[in-house]
Chains A and B, each alone.
Chain A
Amino acid sequence: MLRLENIHAGYGPTTILHDISLAVEAGEVVTIVGANGAGKTTTLRTIAGLIRPTAGKITFEGEDVTRLSSHEMVDRGITLIPEGRQLFPDMTVQENLLMGAYRKAARQHKDAALEEVLSLFPRVRERLAQKAGSLSGGEQQMVAIARGMMARPKLLMFDEPSLGLAPIIVTQVFDVIETIVKTGATVLIVEQNVFHTLKAADRGYVLENGEIVLADTSDALLHNDHVRQAYLGI
């Protein structure tokens, strides 16, 4: 479904990703594991069209999407739920959700999509009229995920969905993600909570200093000595 071939990317003169190649097949849950600064967020931002790669090729459903900008990627069915929620603080929760269905294709079914995500997030329904900025961190994360689903994306990318949340909320967030996975969604997830994420994922890539050093099934990675030492602390 999604294929990155020898991608180089970064910010201005600084190259962060060196020769990244990875693939996500339809219906799969794939995770990228790595330390802070390894380039996980940069990878997701590059796929989302926020960063233009300096070399390499990205294809999505057979189409070359390397040079497309972020709004064109949303049209193709790729949505990134960014790190730190990134809601529109002075807009109501409902307005935030509606922005998730901003593109023309999504606008036609925004009412149906709203019902779908609200049935998945009953807590969000209670907060519809509230300012997004007034919610707690966990609630904001739920709204961010719900907003990302409003466009009914084919590929949903999560960037650190549990970052900065209380442990009990983290469990809730993972429950939600697992529910989404069960609906057959294709998911690419970046998470500091490596153990939890590998448990939920089919496959994983290990990213170090902007390069992919390991790629395997989640089970194999969970038993890999390097992964256990560096990321699981076992």
Chain B
Amino acid sequence: MNTFLQVLTNGIMLGSLFAIVAVGLTLIFGIVKVVNFAHGEFLMVGMYLTYVLTTWMGIHPFATVILVAPALFLLGAVTQRFLIQPLMSADDDHIQIFATVGLSTALINLALLVFGADIASTPASGLRTPLQLGPVRLLSGQVAILVASIAVVVVLQFFLSRTQTGRAIRAVAQNRAAAQLMGINVNWIYILTFGIGAACVGVASVLIAPLYPTSSGIGTYFVLTAFVVVVLGGLGSIGGAFAGAMIIGLIDSFAGFYIGSDLREVAVFGVFLLILILKPSGLFSSRLNLSHVSP
């Protein structure tokens, strides 16, 4: 029983990690309708920033969020304005995908140039201290990720449903032409949304950096699962991404323990393919779905 609870806890912790990485990705996809293949590299940039700020300035990794989140917002906004927006009128939508793949490669090589191939370890600052919570053990840094991922989802949902700017963002996703007629500056909404999505991954990077070693390839490691999570949750659905992340985290954890750690990914992608076959639009594509296409 104790082992089961421990495996369950590990799954939830892993799920919250995937969730906080995936939320920004699904937001950008749902509104701007661009699959950002550089999302993982945004995470990598955020983790390096956290590393640099923590080691040079000697501040707590979590405190760097005041600088890392705005920096990532800027990176996302600039990407939309100067890379995606000029391509939006292109005849072929896929050009935007190639552009983000190109950006991803450029950022990886830029990181290699600046930081070399060695891994950079952000000081743990007590976040890798195990906590004993009844029968289960977990790291304080993992609890922080769980709390933060829930907070990010709740804040985003509130922003999108209760503020005028949030409503405008949803309006653009639901009917771009009508949004223009309401006087919404659609290009500006796209820039803002891309920025917010990137800022979310900025928050993720601050939380992940103390727990995982930073390297130029770290983004690829996380983002593949993030894509699975986003598709599973229904593209553009923030609540769905959270639920999808939990499902993937739990499958990963349980399959790793009860079937064999070599077969974790087989189980994850097996279930993923099964769900895709049975429900291609994702598990949660109702009210929360931002990318709803009008009839």
A interface residue numbers (CB < 8 A to B): 48, 50, 69-71, 73-75, 79-80, 82, 86-91, 95, 98-100, 102-103, 106-107, 133, 147, 151
* B294 close to A (CB within 8 Å): yes
Q: In the complex, what's the smallest C-beta–C-beta distance from B174 to chain A, in angstroms?
A: 4
Q: In the complex, what's the smallest C-beta–C-beta distance from B288 to chain A, in angstroms?
A: 9
Q: Would B294 and A89 count as touching, CB distance under 8 A?
A: yes
B interface residues, how many (CB within 8 angstroms): 21
Contact A70:B181 (CB < 8 A) given known A87-B175, A88-B170? yes
B interface residue numbers (CB < 8 A to A): 164, 167-168, 170-171, 174-175, 177-185, 287, 289, 292, 294-295
Contact A86:B171 (CB < 8 A) given known A98-B164, A102-B164, A133-B294? no
Q: Would B183 and A90 count as touching, CB distance under 8 A?
A: no
Q: Would B178 and A82 count as touching, CB distance under 8 A?
A: yes
Which residues on the B side are within 8 Å of A98 (C-beta)? 164, 167
Q: In the complex, what's the smallest C-beta–C-beta distance from A53 to chain B, in angstroms?
A: 17
Which residues on the B side are within 8 Å of A106 (C-beta)? 183
Q: Would A91 and B181 count as touching, CB distance under 8 A?
A: no
Q: In the complex, what's the smallest C-beta–C-beta distance from B265 to chain A, in angstroms?
A: 35
Q: Would B183 and A74 count as touching, CB distance under 8 A?
A: yes
Q: Would B179 and A99 count as touching, CB distance under 8 A?
A: yes
Q: Please report the C-alpha to C-alpha distance between residue A88 and residue B177 in the assembled complex, in whole angstroms.
A: 10
Q: Please report the C-alpha to C-alpha distance between residue A75 and residue B168 in the assembled complex, in whole angstroms.
A: 16
Q: In the complex, what's the smallest C-beta–C-beta distance from B132 to chain A, in angstroms?
A: 45
Q: Would B178 and A86 count as touching, CB distance under 8 A?
A: yes
Residue of B at shortest CB range from A90?
Answer: B292
Q: Would B167 and A90 count as touching, CB distance under 8 A?
A: no
A79, A88, A91, A106 interface centre (most CB from chain B within 10 Å)? A88
A to B CB contacts below 8 Å, 5 in the list: A73-B183, A88-B174, A88-B294, A102-B168, A102-B184
Which residues on the B side are within 8 Å of A147 (C-beta)? 182
Q: Would A99 and B182 count as touching, CB distance under 8 A?
A: yes
Q: In the complex, what's the smallest C-beta–C-beta distance from B43 to chain A, in angstroms?
A: 30
Which residues on the A side are within 8 Å of B184 (C-beta)? 71, 99, 102
Residue of B at shortest CB range from A144?
Answer: B178
Q: Would A74 and B181 count as touching, CB distance under 8 A?
A: yes
Q: Would B181 and A86 count as touching, CB distance under 8 A?
A: yes
Q: Would B183 and A91 count as touching, CB distance under 8 A?
A: no
Q: Would A86 and B177 count as touching, CB distance under 8 A?
A: yes
Q: Would B183 and A103 count as touching, CB distance under 8 A?
A: yes
Q: Please report the C-alpha to C-alpha distance between residue A82 and residue B294 in the assembled complex, in whole angstroms.
A: 15
